[in-house]
Structure 1
Amino acid sequence: MTEVVTSSQHVGQPRNGFGIAALVLALIGLVFGIIPLTGFVALILGALAVLFGLLGVARTRKGVATNKIMSWVGTGLGGLAAVVGIWGMVIVFQAAGELVRDLDRIGADFQAPPAPGTPLTPGVPAGEAEEGAGAVRYEVEGSGSALSITYSTFNGGGASSESLADTALPWSVEVPVDIDAFSTYTLMASNDENGGTITCRILVNGEVVQEATSKGPFQSAMCVK
């Protein structure tokens, strides 16, 4: 009597980790890809999903994994997540570029004021006013000299200013302006150590619109119109 012995071959658990990881990463990447600001995250997760998916397919061909379809799906969705991520990054870069251009345009609207004595209205030489315009005159009177004199003119969209030190008195300067535009005129004069009286005065088209007087050493008179 012959005894027949039958042996069964032990088969280990399938190694489906790469395929599962590919699908999970691809799905998460697609979620991040919906938001343009997180497009770079979607790109990274999508690339990893493609890598793991291809490794999972390779395992199925070797017979050590059984989730071939899942691996291919993870690979495909991973590629889609990467594409969506790139799309989101392009949107962000375009928006950033547009923001920079807008800031440049805003900055151009706030250019530095022109040098003292330059015309406030383009095409009008200093000291001359175009027809219908007027002039603002700044005057400072007193004994001796002024420790400092500062005057500024804001007229419509133009502005100019100047500061002087140790100026002999009386002193005056005239600036052409458009009297129909919104304007602000400022004049401040300070006495030196000798004291005495110092007076500042603003005239528009020859008419006094502001006047102030101060007395004593290092005292200041300010006129604002």
Structure 2
Amino acid sequence: MSYPPNYGQQDPYQQQGYGQPYGYAPQQPSPTKTNGLAVASLVLGLTGFITCGFTSLLAIVFGHVSLGQIKRDRTDGHGMALAGVVLGWILTSLWILYWVLVMAGAIAGVGTTALSTPTSDSSSSAVQGSGKHTVVFEAIGSDGATSALNITGSANYRITQDNGVPLPYRKELKVDELRHFYFWVQNASDKGTVTCRIIIDGKVAREETEDGPYGVCRVTADTP
């Protein structure tokens, strides 16, 4: 005799399944911090272009300190710190070179004045008053040379000197005799060309052109 299947009743031998385990969301890593001194080093290195190199020294110091902190703390900013150090050293070196050249030009100008000082006052009348000859010292800048660091002119051993003047430059003197003339012009920029000339009674007696960083143009007319 067969029995119908027992619907609605659980098979006692059927194993009851277990529920799914509780899921856990993966933990997100915390963002790495950027070293503050590295940012400061980069900013100070960039501003060194407009601060005459004063902030470049701080860029070097902050950059080296931040590189040590980054290595120890595993923070970000290694590239910025390295860029700040490199910019700091480059700009510091350039500004040191600039001031060395400025001082060298100033010393050369003082030496020229000392060597050319007249031994008597007899030549003063050759520059002042209504002399019968006209002497013109002229300097012209081009390609970025807009000013002269030092300009020294000597007419019959009488010195005239100007510092930090814009180009073009022109000075006219009256003399009674034509003996010795000297003209010295130093470019105040790291680029451009300077042309200097001595004009006597309307005619160019001597002319020279000098280019390059802080170039010095010299002309002498002993026998115009």
Q: TM-score, normalised by structure 1?
A: 0.41
Q: TM-score, normalised by structure 2?
A: 0.41
